[in-house]
Chain A
Amino acid sequence: MNTANILVGIAFSGAAYAMVLYMTSVGLSVTMGLLGVANLAHGAFAMAGGYFLVTFMDRLAVPFGLAVVLACVAVGGLSLVLERWVYARVYKATELDQVVLSMGLIFVGTAIAQFVFGAQPVRVVIPDAIGGQLAAGGGFTFPVYRIFLIVTGLAIFAGLWVTIEKTLIGARIRSAVDNRAMAEALGLNSKQLFAAVFALGSVLAALGGAVGADVMAIEPEYALKHLVYFLIVVAVGGLGSVKGPFLAALLLGLGDATCKILAPEFGGIFIYIALFLILLVKPNGLFGRA
């Protein structure tokens, strides 16, 4: 393998991984910024998305595309119920309560997943349309599935960015992030908005979990196993932002791929050192507002 090949490989697999990370974490960034809930169990929604996808595909023989949509809808509904009955009660609670609550949710989610689907990762069959390799000039080949992930991630990013920056709903969300009391005083129905934002974040997580199932395997330990990376994306990207987590996920995905290919013996050391330094210099994240 020559240098160009290695670099392209790193960039490609890193970017695909980054997009999955982005989809699964961006909702967490928005809910944390807007609702102030340290929801460590956010990954459980991504896991649920993956499991719903498998259930729909294997047990009900639903085709991949429709199954992804159904999985997102199912997780969205589930998250609305949880928001109303569980999370809404801790919006004003201390950080500790939120951390403990979400840890309890992780445990329950893990137990349920293990009980229903077993301890082993479940396999998601990727349809032929997005499987296989794409041969490009110069001897490069790209797995189509990874291209699909990158395109999906970019589309989500663009869609979110337009929604948040250009639409009325986005303006409402931004106003609530900046100054909730003032936004409410001006007649914003924050309860509805919070529920909608929470559901949106969960749906995105479910989408990331479902389409990214081949990159991040769907298993009962999912929420806890990837928690560190979700939190890194959010903390480095900055709370309540759409652009921040995108860039943070790219950094993390590319950094992770580089470390794994060039210096596997050092594992995550570089990433944790980088995280440490970034948060020390900018406690609100690289792109967070002070």
Chain B
Amino acid sequence: MMTHSDVINSVPQTATPGTPAAVHQLLSARRFRPAETLPWVLAMAAYFVLPQYFQLGAQILIMVLFALSFDLLLGYGGIVTLGHAAYFGAGAYTAGLLAKYGWGEPLSALLVSGLVAGILGTLAGAVILRTRGLALLMLGMAVSLLLLELANNLTDITGGADGLQGMNLSPLLGQFDFDMFGKTAYVYSLAVLFVAWLLLRHLVNSPFGRSLVGIRQNPARMQALGVSVWARRLTAFAISSALAGIAGALSAQTSQFVSLSVFGLELSGMVIVMLVMGGTGRLYGAFVGATVYMVAQDMLSKDQPTTWLFWIGLLLILLVLFNRGGLLGLCDAARRRIVNKEAP
């Protein structure tokens, strides 16, 4: 019989001497690499260099957070739904309603919004994760469309099609007012995104995250290994929904407006597009995809919305046909070619 150490030693040793490759790979995934500081350095540089773009910057950071939350579900859990906007919207409306009806403190409202979206996600997930394939796609969509109709009909509370207005936010931490240039909004969004990123980074490298990947690759086998597949998927769904809700709440607080489109099919589609563009299942795909998408949209769609739609569509088609890893996958492929050339 093989002992545990036999199994480990039977792995070919190519990495650091003394550490088997697979174990080394698992351990090193947790270690911070220098490249991982890049998004944060860039975001802070943007604060000083591009102060005129605070508003857009805050929007980008919020979409990064939304895409990041979806990456846990799609990239790690392999759960394809077309309705993640439901939880973004739930967070946005919660934060908006809280601020409108007297709860102006932003941070606690943010947490409450995340909690509401998380609970909604748990309830919805418990129901819709029982299905697979087309039914799952449709049920996810039905949840967001149901919320859309509700928000549209409860005009007295939500403002209906006119959107939710008249939010009253107190200054952040009692100090920083939400200014019209979006300076507070930018720093606030960046800080929230950073915390969420730390949390998710820890999560996907934990045994829980590894088991999610295992479930994505082979649910039957994970079940046979004694993993409660359904509970893990539901947990992932709940965490992802809560984070999406926080992203929605951030969007409501920083723009002080919530429109019905937060529940729309377009937003659910957009987050998939951003994530796939950047690359799924690697956390940083959300950063790259959301930034490229939002910047390109801002630059192109003002003058020529049609051209913008055409190129983004074409890019999606080409990405699916020729490169399944998104933009970051392209970078990887390019790097591999260079390395291979240098060391034949």
Contacts and interface: CB of A to CB of B under 8 A. Distances in A.
Interface in A102-126: 103-112, 114-115
A89 interface: yes
Contacts of A250: none
A104 B133 contact: no
Interface residues of A, number: 46
Interface string B113-154: 000000000000001001111110111011101100110110
Interface of B is mostly: helix
B125 to A, nearest CB: 13
Nearest to A112: B310
A96 B153 CA distance: 33
B134 A97 contact: no
A271 B269 CA distance: 22
A32 B134 contact: yes
Interface string A78-101: 000000001001100111110111
Nearest to B138: A235
Nearest to A276: B142
B139 A279 contact: yes
A242 B325 CA distance: 37
Contacts of A96: 74, 80, 272, 276, 280
A104 B134 contact: no
B265 interface: yes
Nearest to B133: A95
Interface of A is mostly: helix
B321 A89 contact: yes
Contacts of B269: 103
A132 interface: no
A95 B153 CA distance: 34
B71 to A, nearest CB: 12
Contacts, number: 127
Nearest to B319: A100
Contact of B316 (A101, A228, A235): A101
A265 interface: yes
Contacts of A32: 134
B146 A273 contact: yes
A230 B249 CA distance: 32
A269 B314 contact: no
Contacts of A111: 306-307, 309-310, 313
Contacts of A248: none
B317 A105 contact: yes
B141 A101 contact: no
A280 interface: yes
Interface in B255-291: 265-266, 269, 272-273, 276, 280
B11 interface: no
A134 to B, nearest CB: 35
Contacts of A114: 306, 309
A225 B269 CA distance: 13
A113 to B, nearest CB: 9
A227 B324 CA distance: 25
Interface string B305-338: 0110110111111011100100000000000000
B149 A267 contact: yes
A115 B321 CA distance: 25
Contact of A279 (B142, B149, B307, B321): B142
A85 to B, nearest CB: 9
B270 to A, nearest CB: 10
B153 A103 contact: no
Given A104-B317, A105-B313, A239-B134, A99 B82 contact: yes
A34 B254 CA distance: 47
B320 A101 contact: yes
B67 to A, nearest CB: 14
A103 B316 contact: yes
A284 B266 CA distance: 26
B310 to A, nearest CB: 4
B268 to A, nearest CB: 10
Interface string A188-230: 0000000000000000000000000000000000001001100
B50 to A, nearest CB: 28
Nearest to A98: B320
Given A38-B137, A114-B306, A268-B145, A280 B150 contact: no
Interface in B195-224: none
Contact of A103 (B135, B138, B146, B273): B273
Contacts of B314: 104, 108
B265 A93 contact: no
Most buried by B among A86, A95, A100: A100
A198 to B, nearest CB: 17
26 contacts: A89-B321, A93-B324, A95-B133, A97-B320, A99-B80, A100-B272, A101-B316, A101-B320, A101-B321, A103-B269, A104-B315, A104-B317, A107-B313, A108-B309, A109-B313, A111-B313, A115-B310, A224-B265, A227-B265, A267-B149, A269-B153, A273-B146, A276-B143, A276-B146, A279-B135, A284-B135
Given A93-B320, A224-B265, 6 more contacts: A32-B134, A96-B272, A101-B321, A111-B307, A227-B265, A276-B143
4 nearest A-B residue pairs (beta carbon): A107-B313, A104-B316, A111-B310, A108-B313
